[in-house]
Amino acid sequence: MAAAAVSGAKRSLRAELKQRLRALSAEERLRQSRLLTQKVMAHSRYQRSQRISIFLSMQDEVETEEIIRDIFRQGKTCFIPRYQSQSNHMDMVRLASPEEIPLLPKTSWNIAQPAAGEAREEALSSGGLDLIFMPGLGFDEDGNRLGRGGSYYDAYIRRCLQGQGQRPYLLALAFKEQLCPRIPVGDQDMRVDEVLYEDADIDDSSVP
């Protein structure tokens, strides 16, 4: 598919998925989020990972707060995204505790993140990441992902490959309404290793 066609297909699918997410009730979002939290805690990749990046969820995303609390309970190290709004640059910076989340400033997209000038440990400068929880608007069974159009995660994963020589495990968290038969992708789009949703079988086949 030509780049212009991919871009157009992504645009219309984004609009459709946003509509699907708007139609989800708060109760249903919470129900699926709780179920996915249990799946994450039982997942061998999560259990074995020590350095984990996770997004602070927006209203139409799987709720991650309980997973974040568990990361700290398990003594793992937690990193969260810090986006630069004028570019597609994103860092994964260390979160000190779950209690600081409500105190973080909000971006123009209403995402909580540490202030741009605040000095924080960045994951790639201190040992890389074992696992990245991936947000997105839509996914298919092959691990293709439709983001919100900023290419932040695609660019960051390429930096991981350069900086730590290997890719962290990419685990997407999705409502079942976000599953699509096929996601249109371009050359720069990174696939996730696994999409976790309500009816998904946990893929532990690649675990040594």
Instruction: Enumerate the known binding-site residues for ATP.
Output: 10-14, 145-153
How far is C-alpha 15 from the geometric centre of its chain's CA atoms? 20
Name residue 106's beta-bridge partners.
112
Q: How many other β-carbons are positioned within 10 Å of the β-carbon of residue 141?
A: 12
**Residues 150, 83 contacting (CB under 8 angstroms):** yes
Residues annotated as binding site? Answer: 10-14, 56, 61, 145-153
Task: Tell me how far apart the alpha carbons of residues 179 and 199 are, in angstroms, rounded to a whole number.
Answer: 11
b (16+ CB within 10 A) / e for 37-53: bebbeebebbeebebbb
